[in-house]
Amino acid sequence: MPFPLPLDPDFRKEVIQSWIEDIYDRLGGGDVESAKKSWEIANKLYLSLPAGQGDFFIGERLLEARVKLER
């Protein structure tokens, strides 16, 4: 059982940012399948943020990463 993340939205946003960086690192290394898994994790965490705690910048980065994964 994984250790649950703290509920603090700011901490979760930092974790999401780290996963987004991981996506680009994996894409840079040519590992598309692992990058897709990282995107799924980042997206799931983003969607789990409490209502009203979303972040436009993070949402845009997730969208950009998804577009790169589809190409």
Question: CA dihedral in degrees (8, 11, 16, 17; nearest 10)?
Answer: 150
- pLDDT at residue 1 is higher than 60: no
Q: Binning pLDDT at 50, 70 and 90, where does residue 2 land? A: low
Span 11-67, pLDDT tens digits? 999 999 999 999 999 999 999 999 999 999 999 999 999 999 999 999 999 999 999
- Quote the pTM value: 0.88
Buried b (16+ CB within 10 A) or exposed e, 45-57: bbeebeeeeebee
- pLDDT at residue 71 is higher than 90: no
> pLDDT at position 8, please?
87
